[in-house]
Amino acid sequence: MKILNSTDDAKIIVSTISKKALGMCFGSLQLDFCQQLSQTLVTSSSIRQYSELVALGFWCRPAHLQQLKKDYLQNTHVYSARGLVFHITPGNVQSMFAYSWLLSLLMGNQNIVRLSSRGGEVLTILLEVIETILQQDEFSVLKQSNQFVQYDYDTNLTDFFSECCDIRVIWGGDQTIEKIRLSRISAKTRDVVFADRFSFALIDAYAILELNDVKKDELKKIANSFYKDVLLYGQQACSSPRLIVWNGKDKKIIERAKKVFWSCVNEFLMDENKSDDSSFPTAISNKIAHTQFFAMQGLSVILESAPNFYRIQLDDFKEVYQAHHCGEGLIFEMNISKLDKLSEITNKSFQTCSYYGVELQELRELVSQGVVHNILRFVPIGHALDFDSYWDGMDLFSEFSVITTFS
Amino acid sequence: MTSSMIESFYELPIYDVAQKEKEDLLNNVLNQLNHHHYKKCSEFHNLIHSMNYSLTNAHYFEHPFLSVRLFKMLELKSISSNKVFKQLNSSGTSSQIVSKIFLDAQGAKDQSKILSKILLDLFEKKGLGKKRLPMLLIESPAVVKNKMSFSARGAGIQGLSFLGRNHTYALNDDMTLNHQAINEFFEKFQHEPVLIFGFTFMIWKYFIEANKMHDKKYFFDQALLLHGGGWKKLQSMAVSNQTFKKGIEDALGNVSVHNFYGMVEQTGTIYVECEQGYLHAPVFSDVLIRDPLTLEDAGIGKEGVIQLFSALPESYPGHSLLTEDLGTLIGQDNCTCGRKGRYFTVKGRLARAENRGCSDTFQ
């Protein structure tokens, strides 16, 4: 990682990269690199405690990438590298940049990755792993065509990289995106933006009660899956559920299902590690402030076994609530009597719906018939945080490449 | 409710009421304030209902508290808009969002009265008498120019100014030393008691360090230096309270240095550092430390989040606030400085408080 202080430093970075040729889509060099990265992240004992890094390692394992390669290369069109990709990465989920960077790398692009100056433990470890692998002779080409940089907020440097790049990747929030967009890109350059997103869980009340009657273990598994979806990144990831939509015709049934579900969730106590995390008291203080804000709006609040979950019941969904959601275990809850009522909740910033107890086919029909809009991703509960090359409604392999057609 | 409740505190000695007795007095007022704000402030009313808090006449340690951050998110007041006499704004440190505090005429009067009582008590204990002192402000005059809406710095200066006379600003508008003003002040008042006031970081950076660079010293015969605003910036420069005091001694001679802790959300009731280096709760207010994870009363000796009670806030619901600062309760009624009541230390703000947005930007 290089710390840049001036445009001259930035020019050196760009000229180093531009001396190298573009790679091949899913070229063996990149696949070899990913394999080593995967192996280190999955097997290293010192990394085991960072579940987000293990997840990244699992994602870039050879079997998965081979499958992706097969899917893409079977296409009649030919995908090839676009050129220089400038990535501006987020500070809230430290390992997130790696996914979009790896996708871009797999497509054969050259990359400049601007890392959050806020840094963090996970980021430091991940960078160390990446840079160690890139030190090997066989990866010297990749090392030169993939540059990790850090600089204090400086419009000049962002201007310069924006002018040079062929694709600019901006991880939000919305304000960051707006600010970065003030730096011009050329007519042929494409912006790939990951804006603020809001995600939710959709749970069928009857299905929960049924589990409670016959399959207690399964219920515990569902509760645990939800717990992990919420708290793995402190509920800060764009796909972390922040709302539970309860589906059920009868309000009493929903209330019973909630009771059963939450008593199960409460059995999973906060990780031992987490209480040592110095930012944890901040998280609680944050959560109190925001919960009291909602209480002051007259919304009813339920505090589950502190300090894990604070629940807030909504009758209707307003964007102001969305804006004041602080993560950290704050959960909105809403009831719907049937699935097409989802259309009254979602807006353009919605992303993932992690579901339990509802028919995927029914959801598919609601979307394809244009009844429900704005949900970009349905995954079974417990998989909210699994990264996919289709993200935020985009096919990232297409975004990071050019497509040539032959006819 | 009338202001007489607070006025009944006016005649009490600031630091001579033992904790138990003080709790009884405060309990009475804080319970009334709960009911008052419940009636007058719809947000407070909603909060009590939504969170299932009850307003029984319990001890105030059991009362609901408001996160101090709420004053940045909402305009909370228990008076109608036409009764607002003065609006105070905090200086947003880690974000641009500021707290907004609304005072009516009575509230503004009460807070300045109580502030002056606390400080005059200190003057007296220091043998400086009970009169206004020549006052050197380690500030530029620019900071108090906008009288309509005060920043915390502006409000702090204005709040304290009436304790002084011959107000002299030690800094120019560009934060450089105004040597001429300082020299004139020094020549005129070096042999009598003077009051020096400023914000901790500003004093260090623009006065102590700047004077050191110019090799300037001003040894006053008898001076009291009051400073507040937090240690965050100095901590990052590894300047401790001890180093700070030493720096001041080197530059100003035999000066008695007192830090104070307070916030715009509870203006008036400040917590002044005693001779032993501890912050003391005056009779108008109290402090409780809560475990940062469970929020239970952390008792004496254990670090936690600071909760502050004040009998003052009537025009806005700020009588029981959970701050975002960490501190430790040292004891009660037994500080060797002789002051009664609770005393504590402040460590600083919670790590990255209010900066963990859902979609944090990288800047």
pLDDT the model gives residue B361: 29
Residue B47 with chain A: CB contacts under 8 Å: 292, 295-296
Whether residue A210 sits in one domain with residue A164: no
Question: Is residue A101 a part of any domain in this protein?
Answer: yes
User: How much is the average pLDDT of A223-227?
Assistant: 92
Query: Which domains does chain B show, CATH number per domain?
Result: 4-349 (3.40.50.12780)
Say yes or no to pLDDT of A10 above 90: yes
Say yes or no to pLDDT of B64 above 90: yes
Whether residue A370 sits in one domain with residue A230: yes
Of A89, A293, A303, the CB nearest to B73: A293
In this prediction, what percent of chain B has a pLDDT beyond 70? 90
pLDDT the model gives residue B1: 47
Cα three-residue angle A80-A81-A85, rounded to 5 degrees: 155
- DSSP designation for B204: I
Question: Is residue A41 a part of any domain in this protein?
Answer: yes
- C-alpha distance from residue A234 to each of A207, A240, A277, A280, A309 (Å): 27, 9, 12, 9, 11
How far, in whole angstroms, is CA B62 from its chain's centroid?
Answer: 23
Q: How many CB pairs under 8 A join A and B?
A: 129
Say yes or no to pLDDT of B79 above 80: yes
Which CATH number do you get for residue A361? 3.40.309.10
Is the CB of residue A99 less than 8 Å from the CB of residue A388? Answer: no
Question: Is residue A8 a part of any domain in this protein?
Answer: yes
Residue A91 with chain B: CB contacts under 8 Å: 360-362
Say yes or no to pLDDT of B95 above 60: no
pLDDT the model gives residue B56: 83
CA-wise closest residue to B287 among B304, B264, B267, B268: B304
pLDDT the model gives residue A29: 96
Q: Does B362 touch chain A (CB under 8 A)?
A: yes
Is the CB of residue B269 less than 8 Å from the CB of residue B285? Answer: yes
Angle, helix A28-43 to helix A51-59, in steps of 10 degrees: 150
Question: Is residue A387 a part of any domain in this protein?
Answer: no
Whether residue A248 sits in one domain with residue A158: no
Question: Is residue A150 a part of any domain in this protein?
Answer: yes
Helix H or strand E encompassing B338? none
Judged by phi (left if over 0) then psi (alpha if -120 to 50, else beta), residue B348 lies in left
Q: How many domains does chain A have?
A: 2
Cα three-residue angle B118-B123-B129, rounded to 5 degrees: 130
pLDDT the model gives residue B148: 46
Could you give the CA distance from residue A244 to residue A258 in angstroms, rounded to a whole number? 10
Question: Is residue A385 a part of any domain in this protein?
Answer: no
Is the CB of residue B224 less than 8 Å from the CB of residue B128? Answer: yes
- Confidence class for position B91, pLDDT limits 50, 70, 90: low
Q: Distance, in angstroms, between B347 CA and closest chain A CA?
A: 14
Say yes or no to pLDDT of A276 above 60: no
pLDDT, tens digit, 9 for 90 and up, residues A333-391: 999 999 999 999 999 999 999 999 999 999 999 999 999 999 999 999 999 999 999 99
Say yes or no to pLDDT of A95 above 90: no
3-state SS of chain A is CEECCCHHHHHHHHHHHHCCCCCCCCCHHHHHHHHHHHHHHHHCCCCCCCHHHHHHHHHCCHHHHHHHHHHHHCCCCEEEECCEEEEECCCCCCCHHHHHHHHHHHCCCEEEEECCCCCCHHHHHHHHHHHHHHCCHHHHHHHHHEEEEECCCCHHHHHHHHHHCCEEEEECCHHHHHHHCCCCCCCCCEEEEECCCEEEEEEEHHHHHHHHHHCHHHHHHHHHHHHHHHHCCCCCCCCCEEEEEEECCCHHHHHHHHHHHHHHHCCCCCCCHHHHCCCHHHHHHHHHHHHHHHHHCCCEEEECCCCCCEEEECCCCCHHHHHCCCCCCEEEEEEECCHHHHHHCCCCCEEEEEEECCCHHHHHHHHHCCCCCCCCEEEECCCCCCCCCEECCEEHHHHCEEEECCC
Whether residue A221 sits in one domain with residue A172: no
pLDDT the model gives residue B363: 25
**Bridge-based pairing state of the strands A350-356 and A390-391:** unpaired
- C-alpha distance from residue B180 to each of B183, B186, B187, B360 (Å): 5, 10, 11, 46
pLDDT the model gives residue A270: 53
Is the CB of residue A165 less than 8 Å from the CB of residue A397? Answer: no
Could you give the CA distance from residue A361 to residue A385 in angstroms, rounded to a whole number? 22
Residue A346 lies in domain: 198-380
Whether residue A205 sits in one domain with residue A176: no
Whether residue A368 sits in one domain with residue A219: yes
Could you give the CA distance from residue A312 to residue A328 in angstroms, rounded to a whole number? 13
A contact residues 283-302, partner B, Cβ 8 Å cutoff: 283-286, 288-289, 291-301
Q: Does B51 touch chain A (CB under 8 A)?
A: yes
The interface predicted TM-score of the complex, written ipTM, equals: 0.89
Which CATH number do you get for residue A180? 3.40.605.10
CA atoms within 13 A on the CB side of A35: 11
Question: Is residue A295 a part of any domain in this protein?
Answer: yes
Could you give the CA distance from residue B186 to residue B111 in angstroms, rounded to a whole number? 31
The answer to whether the CB atoms of A295 and B351 lie below 8 A apart is no
The answer to whether the CB atoms of A278 and B353 lie below 8 A apart is no
Q: Distance, in angstroms, between B307 CA and closest chain A CA?
A: 12
User: How much is the average pLDDT of A57-75?
Assistant: 92
Whether residue A204 sits in one domain with residue A170: no
Other beta carbons within 10 Å of B180: 9
Whether residue A368 sits in one domain with residue A285: yes
Residue B44 with chain A: CB contacts under 8 Å: 296
- Confidence class for position B3, pLDDT limits 50, 70, 90: low
Residue type, A339: L
CA end-to-end distance (rounded Å), chain A: 44
Whether residue A208 sits in one domain with residue A169: no
User: How much is the average pLDDT of A156-168?
Assistant: 96
A221: exposed, middle or buried (Cβ count in 10 Å: 0-12, 13-18, 19+): middle
CA-wise closest residue to A352 among A228, A237, A254, A227: A237
* β-sheet bridge partners, residue B120: none
- Higher local confidence (pLDDT), B345 or B154: B345
Question: Is residue A372 a part of any domain in this protein?
Answer: yes
pLDDT, tens digit, 9 for 90 and up, residues B210-268: 988 888 889 999 999 999 888 878 888 888 899 999 999 999 988 999 999 998 899 88
Q: Does B213 touch chain A (CB under 8 A)?
A: no
In this prediction, what percent of chain A has a pLDDT beyond 70? 96
pLDDT the model gives residue B297: 96
Is the CB of residue A61 less than 8 Å from the CB of residue A38? Answer: yes
Of the candidate ranges A79-93, A334-348, B283-297, the one whose mean pLDDT is the lowest? A79-93
pLDDT the model gives residue B358: 30
Say yes or no to pLDDT of A319 above 90: no
- Confidence class for position A278, pLDDT limits 50, 70, 90: low
Whether residue A369 sits in one domain with residue A245: yes
- DSSP designation for B220: -
Say yes or no to pLDDT of A195 above 80: yes
- DSSP designation for B92: P
- Confidence class for position A302, pLDDT limits 50, 70, 90: confident
Three-state DSSP at B310 gives: strand
Say yes or no to pLDDT of B52 above 90: no
Is the CB of residue A161 less than 8 Å from the CB of residue A112? Answer: yes
Q: Mutation target for B interface from A155, A296, A313, A325: give the one with most B CBs within 10 A.
A: A296
Tokens of B8: 């009944």
pLDDT, tens digit, 9 for 90 and up, residues A109-137: 999 999 987 778 889 999 999 999 999 99
Say yes or no to pLDDT of B355 above 50: no
- C-alpha distance from residue B145 to each of A145, A283, B206 (Å): 55, 38, 20
Tell if the pTM clears 0.80, that is, is over it: yes
Whether residue A330 sits in one domain with residue A206: yes
Whether residue A305 sits in one domain with residue A208: yes
Say yes or no to pLDDT of A255 above 60: yes
pLDDT the model gives residue B4: 52
Q: Does B292 touch chain A (CB under 8 A)?
A: yes
User: How much is the average pLDDT of A159-166?
Assistant: 96
Chain B: residue whose CA lies nearest to A329: B358
User: How much is the average pLDDT of A252-270?
Assistant: 88
pLDDT the model gives residue B93: 47
